[in-house]
Structure 1
Amino acid sequence: MRNTYAQQNKWAGYWFILPSLIIMMLLIAYPLLFGGYISLFNTNLLNKWEFVGFDYYLQAIKDPEFLQKIGLTFKYTGLVVIGNLFVGTFLAIILNMKLPGRLIFRAILILPWLFPDVVVALLWKWLFNPLYGLINHILGGMNLISEPIAWLDKPEFALFGVVMASIWKGYPLVMILVLAGLQSISKDLYEAAEIDGANKWKSFLHITLPGLMPVLVVTIILETVWWFKHFTIVWLLTAGGPVNATSVISIDIYNTAFQDFRFGKAAATAVIVFFICLLISYLYRRFLANDDN
């Protein structure tokens, strides 16, 4: 009886995680494997399945336009992640202070994260509108511009507009994670540093920053992977234009699959993006994580 009871306890944990495991296999593992499978074919997913092997991968690596779009995606991702880290960390430090009404400001500042991407894109499209947009109105009222600027219609400004909208959408996640990290740092460390004569800057460098490093590593990995493959905001604001100024790799995958109906080539590009995200995560963990992690 003891052996039977021990065996039941041994398998009980597996039975509890089985439903979640099945759901993950259906929603995550199967699409990944199927995407890798169709990347080996020239297919329309209906009646055309011409095996091409790794031809699409070789074409992508040798294609200068593909490499240019990967470079643009890195640029877009880097600007958004840096902006999110700066804005989110700055606001988290302020909200961690004992200021009146900070709970209200926390609720207000988290709102962009709660809005759907479609709402965020439409809101910023209205703000950037050259005829009645609020941004041109403010800049014109301050005499900083002499005529309205078509922010999303000019190649030199389009990427800036997309990055601004993405930062506004993404900073609340960084703010929440950094704020949680700040509140986990013991106040005794700051008191001891103050007794030893350390100023605010030295306390930040030697206490706050090391204490936040585990949180920052996870945050940077999540942010980079998320924005590297982001699609919705870019598509709704510019659809990759003008003149491919904002044509990040997710836009290229969408156009290849659903406009050119070259699903095999699109899947191959998506697989390459997947491995790039894995490499980014590994490099972050390798060079930013502490030894204890």
Structure 2
Amino acid sequence: MEFQESVRENFIKIRSRLTDREINPGLLFIAPAVLLMLVLITYPLIETFRLSLHNLTSGGVENFVGVSKYVTLFTSNWFPNVMFNTFVWVVGGVALQLVVGFGLALLLNTKFPAKSAVRAGFLIPWVTPTIVTSIIFSWMYSPQFGIVNELLVRGGLINEGIAWLGNPDTAMFAVIVSALWKQFPFVMIMVLAGLQGMDESLHNAAKIDGAPFFARLRHITIPSLLPVLKIVLLLTVIWMFNQFVLIFTMTGGGPVGSTNVLSVKVYRLAFQQFRYGDASALSVVMIMIMLVFIFFYIRALRKRGGSI
């Protein structure tokens, strides 16, 4: 009897605490969206991992094979080449985007006529749909009537048109340049925002002391922008790593597999070769790699005191 009374008293205390505690109305408003996102994200992730442990064909036959798909994946002849292509694609694209975006941000941070119009113009590539970007650059790279070859021939740099997207030696460089045009405005905007938030007194003092531009850039500008640059770097890496439409539309992973990156390989395994288990296993590998970058991104945000 005493035990039942004790349980009842504890239950009443807990219920009173819950009813007395105020619930943030904002949480109630976002709860449906959060639950929907959890369903839309969690279920595909679980299903992808499950399929990676099964041998599934287009006929719907499903056999459990354990981790054999992963063993086959890591021992495949194409895997090292795909990983290398992905590395070149990500590192090359990110490096160019950071350099160009950073340089243009420095330029736009100065005073010159029609600066607002120039800023708006630089945003055009970023707001252009990726599929449109890929079509534009495919025409520009055409060996017959592309403007790239036309300019190079008229400039005396080449004698005849180059099949930029049809040559294994130039295809990767060509698609990296198209990714540069598409994504550099994002880097530019982020760096420009960081520059405008800097303390100008440091630069003014350095100018009075006679410090040259590159000395100020190295010892003042870049150290002050490091938190912003870290976040920009991680977000750009994530974008390049996940990019599929641009590279698939322009080259389809060719020629001779020279632009066959992880995202393209997953598509080809699943929807061209109908090897759903292998495609799921490779997708899980991509997710694991991506989680590493997401971890560093979240840590960089927390160090800045920002919210996720």
* Greater C-alpha radius of gyration: 2
Cα distance, 1:196 vs structure 2: 4.2
| Distance in 1 separating the partners of 2:71 and 2:185 | 39
SS of the residue corresponding to residue 42 of structure 1 reads strand
Aligned residue for 2:122?
109
Q: Is the 8 A contact 2:235 2:297 kept in 1?
A: no
CA gap of 1:45–1:23, structure 2 versus 1, over 3 A, is farther
Match of 2:31 among 11, 18, 22: 18
Name the structure 2 match of 1:59: 72
* Alpha-carbon distance in structure 2 between the residues aligned to 1:190 and 1:285: 31
| 1:74 paired residue number | 87
Q: Are 2:52 and 1:36 equivalent residues in the alignment?
A: no
Percent identity (aligned): 36
Q: Alpha-carbon deviations, 1:130-170, whole Å to 9, x = none?
A: 11110111111111111111111111111111111111111
Of 104, 111, 129 in structure 1, the residue corresponding to residue 142 of structure 2 is 129
Mapped pair 1:191 → 2:207 = no
Structure 2: distance between partners of 1:4 and 1:128: 65
* CA contact 1:214–1:290 (8 Å) conserved in 2: no
1:150 counterpart = 2:188: no
After superposition, the Cα gap between the structure-2 partners of 1:13 and 1:42, relative to the gap in structure 1 and judged at 3 Å, is same
Counterpart of 2:8 in structure 1 is: none
8 A Cα contact 2:48 2:280, kept in partner: yes
1:194: Cα distance to partner?
2.9
Q: CA deviation at 1:5?
A: 7.0
Match of 1:279 in 2: 292
Does residue 1:174 correspond to 2:187, yes or no? yes
RMSD value, Cα: 2.3
Q: In the alignment, residue 252 of structure 1 is paired with which amino acid? A: K
Q: Structure 1, residues 177-214: CA drift from partner, whole Å, max 9, x if none? A: 11111111121222233344433222212221112111
Aligned to 2:229: 216
The residue type paired with residue 239 of structure 1 is G
Mean CA deviation greater in 22-31 or 85-94? 22-31
The answer to whether the 8 Å contact 2:253/2:261 transfers is yes
Paired residue for 1:163, among 165, 176, 185? 176
- Is 1:235 equivalent to 2:248 in the alignment? yes
Amino acid at match of 1:120: T
C-alpha deviation, 1:274, in angstroms: 1.2
User: How far is the alpha carbon of 1:63 from its aligned partner?
Assistant: 1.9
- The gaps in structure 1 that reach 5 residues or longer are none
Shift of 1:95: 0.6
Letter of the 2:27 partner, please give it: Y
Q: TM-score with structure 1 length normalisation?
A: 0.91
Aligned equivalent of 2:273? 260
**CA displacement at 1:4 relative to structure 2:** 7.3
Alpha-carbon distance between aligned partners in 1 of 2:298 and 2:216, rounded to the nearest angstrom: 25
Q: What is the CA-CA distance between 1:289 and the residue it aligns to?
A: 9.3
2:258 corresponding residue in structure 1: 245
Report the TM-score, using the length of structure 2 for normalisation.
0.87
Aligned length, in residue pairs: 290
Moved more, 186-195 or 117-126: 186-195
Contact 1:121 1:236 in 2 (8 A): yes
